[in-house]
Amino acid sequence: MNPDLRRILTIQSLDLKVAELEKEIAALPKHIAEIEKQLDTHKKKLEIDKAALAANQRERKKLEDDIKVQDQKISRLKDQMLSAKTNEQYRAFQHEIEYCANEIRKYEDRILDLMAESEPLEAAVKKAEAQLAEQKKQVELEKKSALERSAADQKTVVELRARRAELVAATSAEWINTYEKIRKKTPVAVAEAVDGRCSACQLVLRPQLIQDLRKGTDAILYCEYCKRILYYNPPQSFENDLP
């Protein structure tokens, strides 16, 4: 095989690998965003559970304050009842005291309901906190792994580009210029001729072109259809390896 063609094939292999690595590097921010989005879902779940528990506790506190107000009112009414001058006034105070007592019983019943509701709410908050803590660990591990992989990819890209530069310097300008021109249109600029076809576009090649490829030449040969550089890899013979 022509040495320039051999180097061009290696350059193409390096270019394809670099493109693959750069795609992976570019995808890193999106990958991290998706990981953090999963964490946000757990945070929102915890916020909802905490808000429900806080609302329960606020209502209980308000009812407890309302009970205190009614207790104080009953105490004042009892004091005032002692100074009642008529049976009508006395019964009015009794009626007010009974009303306040009924209000207290309603508040207490509601507090009991809220206490029963708070148990699953508290359990949900604890579960959500544990899940969030675990998810945070997982997210940090995944982010660390992704960043390490990206750093390794970037290092590899630098090494591959350095190797590419060496090959370019050793390759004739005609081959390099032709390769770069085709590569602007398609990432695969060099294709193998296999079974009489171009392996890139899969169209059948002229017999004369196939013969020229098999003979080997320093000239650049192209697929007449997709305009890629063509090369031919002769089948390996193992006859000399036989005992």
pLDDT tens for each residue of 226-242:
999 999 887 543 344 33
Q: What pLDDT was estimated at residue 235? A: 58
Q: For 177-188, write each residue's pLDDT tens digit.
A: 999 999 999 999
pLDDT band at 14 (very low <50, low <70, confident <90, very high): very high
The alpha carbon dihedral of 147, 148, 149, 154 has a sign of positive
Q: Select the more confidently predicted residue: 172 or 241.
A: 172
In whole angstroms, give the CA distance from residue 90 to residue 72: 18
Asked if pLDDT for residue 1 goes beyond 80, the answer is: no
CATH code, residues 16-170: 1.10.287.1490
The fraction of the chain above a pLDDT of 70, given in percent, is 96
**Residue appearing with tokens 């660390």:** 144
Q: Nearest Cα to 187, choosing from 4, 10, 19?
A: 19
Measured CA to CA, the distance from residue 232 to residue 196 in angstroms comes to 10
Q: Return phi, psi of residue 108, to 5°.
A: -65, -40
Mean pLDDT score, 83-109: 92
Cβ-based burial of 85 (10 A; exposed 0-12, middle 13-18, buried ≥19): exposed
- Which pLDDT does position 241 carry in this prediction? 38
User: CB-based contacts of 50: which residues, under 8 Å, 6+ apart?
Assistant: 125, 128
Mean per-residue pLDDT, 15-36? 88
The predicted pLDDT at position 237 comes to 39
Residue 243's pLDDT is: 39
The share of the chain scoring above pLDDT 90, in percent, equals 58
Judge whether 204 and 197 are in contact, CB under 8 Å.
yes
Q: How far is CA 183 from CA 11, 16, 104, 147, in A?
A: 11, 11, 85, 30
| Alpha-carbon torsion (44, 48, 49, 55), positive or negative | positive
Q: What is the average per-residue pLDDT within 116-125?
A: 91
Q: For residue range 194-213, what is the model confidence (pLDDT) as tens digits? A: 989 999 999 998 999 999 88
Q: Is the pLDDT of residue 159 over 50?
A: yes
User: Would you list the domain boundaries of the chain?
Assistant: 16-170, 174-234
Collect all residues with Cβ–Cβ distance below 8 Å to 224 and sequence separation of at least 6.
205, 206, 209
pTM given for the model: 0.62
Whole-angstrom Cα distance, residue 242 to residue 35? 57
